[in-house]
Amino acid sequence: MEIDINSEWRELENWITMIEDKDMMVELSIYMGRNKESFISAPGSIAHHHAYEGGLLRHTNEVVRIAWEIAKTLFQEFNVLDDYIDFRNKVIIACVLHDVGKIQKYYRNYPSRAWVYCVNPHEHAQWVIDNWKMNQKLELDPDVIEAILTHHGGWSKTGVEMKKLLSAVVHSADLISSRFEEL
């Protein structure tokens, strides 16, 4: 499948600019820029969803879009968010980062060009937390860390329990994107 990587990347950058905590917006922008090359070429998975070059980028944009809409519904119809702006900021950060660890998870086997695993699939959520900590000045919010570590729901094997609403939103958006991929 061919996708327009430049336009998908612009969409991702656009989401990041919508973070109203400007220091975090700059940090996330720097972080994604540093990982851009691997991120835009990786698939979303090997065989399950978005299994093509650029699939990870496309899947990430879908997850942000879906989670953004869920957050809007929670705010406007269910009235369960104390601080909508703060919640939206965390939604963008958690969704953008949730699968970045997959850049460590796949590589392309030549000459067959088949995607193959290079690390345990459950390790990629922890990898992005550790990698962020090693390279960035600002710390990730604990809610964002929980959401990244639990984004696979019951399938997550990171030893972290899903307690926060943010985690449920990110997990739901991830599930919808991976089950009902835009084709």
The residue among 16 and 173 lying less far from Fe ion, judged by its C-beta, is 173
* Least spacing, CB of residue 93 vs Fe ion, in Å: 15
CA angle 63, 50, 106 (to 5 degrees): 105
* Least spacing, CB of residue 99 vs Fe ion, in Å: 4
- CA–CA gap between residue 123 and residue 104 (Å, rounded): 9
The residue among 26 and 176 lying less far from Fe ion, judged by its C-beta, is 176
- Interface with Fe ion includes 181 (CB under 5 A)? no
How many chain residues interact with Fe ion (CB under 5 A)? Answer: 2
- CA nearest to 7, candidates 41, 57, 45, 68: 57
The residue among 59 and 88 lying less far from Fe ion, judged by its C-beta, is 59
Site for Fe ion in 138-177 (CB under 5 A): 174
The binding track of 79-118 with respect to Fe ion, each residue x by CB under 5 A or -, is: --------------------x-------------------
Which residue's entry shows tokens 């570590």? 149
Instruction: Check if the beta carbon of residue 66 is closer than 8 Å to that of residue 117.
Output: no
The residue among 174 and 181 lying less far from Fe ion, judged by its C-beta, is 174
The residue among 63 and 71 lying less far from Fe ion, judged by its C-beta, is 63
- CA nearest to 130, candidates 158, 168, 108, 157: 158
* Least spacing, CB of residue 79 vs Fe ion, in Å: 28
- CA–CA gap between residue 183 and residue 180 (Å, rounded): 9
Coil, helix or strand for 115?
A: strand
* Least spacing, CB of residue 111 vs Fe ion, in Å: 29
- CA–CA gap between residue 125 and residue 67 (Å, rounded): 18
Beta bridge pairs of residue 145: none
**Binding residues vs Fe ion (CB under 5 A):** 99, 174
